[in-house]
Amino acid sequence: MSPLAFVLTLSCYRRWPSRFSTPYSHNLLVLFSSTATTITPPNRNESPSSGPAPPPIRVALTESTGRAVFATRRIGAGDTIHTAKPIVSHPSLSAITTVCYFCLKKINAVTASQSQGVYFCSENCKESSKVFYDVEKKADWLAFDDYCRTQGLKYPLLVKRLACMVISGAAPAGILDILQPANLTQGMILKQEVLTKQWYTDVLARIRINAFRIELAAGVYEDLLSLASASIEAEAAVGNAIYMLPSFYNHDCDPNTHIVWIENADAKLKALRDIDEGEELQICYIDASMSYDARESLLSQGFGFKCNCLRCMSGD
């Protein structure tokens, strides 16, 4: 079965136009804020027997930026705010033989499990990958991957994996509907339109501005403070992923929060400095060390907005 035929099959699974007809409704934001409690690790001053505490955050609507994340109590510098597992992730094609095809963990060639040219770091990841890989293996994706490689595209890879998850029944077709979509020009769509149908365009529009670039880092947390939370450039990244709650964080060129990946695609949101109760938590979508002009250009072209943070307003 060809990749195009897979997307035609996918359309049969989309039995509803959208589960979220009103984006960012209050009830939905409360839902995602509360469900994050299941993945939040204990704070440093919490006893092991007390169990995980709710994340010290809430998601709310703002007049200027739409949804945003705010602290519900004081958060200390270096504290883990919450963790997040990806909704969907995919390794970079340049790293396809060096990281786990499921969790993106760097692999040991001796102990890795191989399956049709891809590798898994453990039997558990190999088993977990069946939510998309059993479907993916039924089509020849060579032309698809070659096109993405030669064009330097990464977002269609995430769309491909999500399509396979939907076809397998592991994810609903509208799982990303709550996320903010990008304003795609016809040129952007045509350049990346390996798969077709309106579903592809809808998903691509959300993936384009919500995908996080993953750079796995070794060493202790103190060595990670210079990592950018996301980038629209793909070089040197081991892969890309979409998360639900982290996608609600707004951008600031002088952020108080950042995302790190220690071992695999599971993300950790950490405070870069002390954060007061009620303060908005923000991350930097790009490399914060760039000049003002470079940041302005990258944010405009890659994310479709002009940054009005204090740093940019001062021309720094």
Structure-token match 């954060």, residue found: 275
- Can you give the pTM of this predicted structure? 0.76
Residue 266 lies in a domain: no
E-assigned strand segments in the chain: 57-62, 66-71, 80-84, 88-91, 113-115, 118-120, 211-214, 239-242, 250-251, 257-260, 267-271, 280-283
pLDDT at 255: 95
Residue 298 lies in a domain: yes
Judged on CB neighbours under 10 Å (0-12, 13-18, 19+), 210 is buried
The span from the CA of 53 to the CA of 56, in Å, is 8
The span from the CA of 53 to the CA of 90, in Å, is 30
Residue 93 lies in a domain: yes
Residue 303 lies in a domain: yes
Residues 203 and 294 in one domain: no
Residues 6+ apart with CB under 8 A from 31: none
Residues 205 and 93 in one domain: yes
Residues 297 and 195 in one domain: no
Any idea what DSSP says for residue 240? E
N-terminal to C-terminal alpha carbon distance within the chain: 53
pLDDT at 239: 93
pLDDT at 127: 94
**CA 189 to mean position of chain CA atoms:** 20
Q: Which domain holds residue 297?
A: 290-315
CA atoms within 13 A on the CB side of 105: 18
Residue 12 lies in a domain: no
- Bridge partners (DSSP) listed for residue 239: 91, 214
Joined together, the tokens standing for residue 234 give: 């793909």
**CA 4 to mean position of chain CA atoms:** 25
Of the residues 211, 228, 251, which one is the last residue of a structural domain? 211
Residues 6+ apart with CB under 8 A from 15: none
pLDDT at 211: 92
Residues 297 and 207 in one domain: no
Structure-token match 């479709």, residue found: 304
Residue 172 lies in a domain: yes
Residue 23 lies in a domain: no
Any idea what DSSP says for residue 186? H
The tens place of each residue's pLDDT in the chain, 316 residues long, gives 455 555 555 544 443 333 222 333 333 333 343 334 333 334 444 455 456 678 899 999 888 778 899 999 999 999 999 999 999 999 999 999 899 999 999 987 666 677 778 999 999 999 999 999 999 999 889 998 998 999 888 988 999 999 999 999 999 988 998 888 866 555 544 444 444 467 778 888 889 889 999 987 544 444 444 444 333 343 458 999 999 999 999 999 999 999 999 889 999 999 999 999 999 999 999 888 999 999 999 888 878 888 999 999 998 8
Residues 92 and 207 in one domain: yes
Of the residues 184, 211, 238, which one is the last residue of a structural domain? 211
Q: How many domains does the chain have?
A: 2
Of the residues 211, 226, 242, which one is the last residue of a structural domain? 211
pLDDT at 282: 95
CB 73 within 8 A of CB 41: no
